Amino acid sequence: NAGVTQTPKFRVLKTGQSMTLLCAQDMNHEYMYWYRQDPGMGLRLIHYSVGEGTTAKGEVPDGYNVSRLKKQNFLLGLESAAPSQTSVYFCASSYSQGNTEAFFGQGTRLTVV
Amino acid sequence: GENVEQHPSTLSVQEGDSAVIKCTYSDSASNYFPWYKQELGKRPQLIIDIRSNVGEKKDQRIAVTLNKTAKHFSLHITETQPEDSAVYFCAATQLGSQTGANNLFFGTGTRLTVIP
């Protein structure tokens, strides 16, 4: 099992450009999440999904959109990148029967210039 | 929503000493409290967790205590080793909430340095 895999690992965008981050998990988890990690602020939830075809807003959803067309994939989109979106993005997944542990991807370092 | 506060933000200890990291939470409905360790440049990984129906849990050199009344929980690492150096995050969530998801609310992290 690969666990949770994020693509890409690094990216530099110009202000106003768009991009999509892909998260894939092979653990048959129901729940998937996108977090951003900024210095001194911990991990903050952007959007989450409780199952295929469902998404919901987290703590800091503005400027981001998500989709979960397949159970194993959770996509995070930035339609018009801003310097404030410079961050490290982590995808996570959790919940299979009897197991609540959240597993994280390796992170995507995004810089918006 | 839930608000988790974590202290201290940095902690340095001599190898072999103990380290304690403390967190408080605001939502009395939270019932699951995991701790994650993040080594430099790596992903966060679960090291121990506790549910609200117990007050303490131990796993070798790591222990977590929970005080539901005061709404705080702590991570204790004994006999620290250089490989314990990392950033530690506490988190809280309500399993079985109305959202249907186990959304974790994280503290801001503690950078632990173990000095050889």
Q: Which tokens go with A43?
A: 């991990």
At B96 the pLDDT is 76
> What is the mean pLDDT of the segment spanning A26-42?
93
Per-residue pLDDT band at B116 (split at 50, 70, 90) = very high
At B100 the pLDDT is 67
* B52: Cβ contacts below 8 Å, ≥ 6 apart: B30, B31, B32, B33, B66, B68
At A98 the pLDDT is 65
Interface of A with B in 27-56 (CB under 8 A): 31, 33, 35, 40-45, 48-50, 56
> What is the mean pLDDT of the segment spanning B28-34?
94
* A28 pLDDT more than 70: yes
Percent of chain A clearing pLDDT 90 (strictly above):
88
> What is the mean pLDDT of the segment spanning A65-80?
97
Cβ atoms within 10 Å, residue A94: 24
Per-residue pLDDT band at A97 (split at 50, 70, 90) = low
> What is the mean pLDDT of the segment spanning B4-12?
97
Q: Is B76 exposed, middle or buried (0-12, 13-18, 19+ CB in 10 A)?
A: middle
Question: Which of A39-43, B29-33, B39-43, B83-87 is least confident?
Answer: A39-43
Query: In whole angstroms, what is the distance from residue B5 CA to residue B14 CA?
Result: 25
CA distances from B34 to A16, A92, A110, B75, B103 (A): 37, 14, 27, 10, 12
Task: Tell me whether residues A42 and B6 touch, CB distance under 8 A.
Answer: yes
* B97 pLDDT more than 90: no
* A21 pLDDT more than 90: yes
B97 — contact with chain A (CB < 8 Å)?
no
Name the average pLDDT for chain B.
Answer: 94
Closest CA–CA distance from residue A4 to any residue of chain B (Å): 10
* B115 pLDDT more than 70: yes
Q: With CA atoms as reference, report the closest residue to A63 among A40, A89, A42.
A: A89
Query: In whole angstroms, what is the distance from residue B89 CA to residue A91 CA?
Result: 16
Per-residue pLDDT band at A100 (split at 50, 70, 90) = confident
Strand partners, A100: none
Query: In whole angstroms, what is the distance from residue A73 CA to residue B20 CA?
Result: 38
Interface test with A, best of B10, B26, B35, B43 (most A CBs within 10 A): B43
Instruction: Name the pairing type of β-strands B19-25 and B4-7.
Output: antiparallel
Residue of chain A whose alpha carbon sits nearest to that of B2 = A59
At A4 the pLDDT is 97
Sheet hosting strand A73-78, strand order edge to edge = A4-7, A19-25, A73-78, A65-67
Residues of chain A with C-beta less than 8 angstroms from the C-beta of B23: none
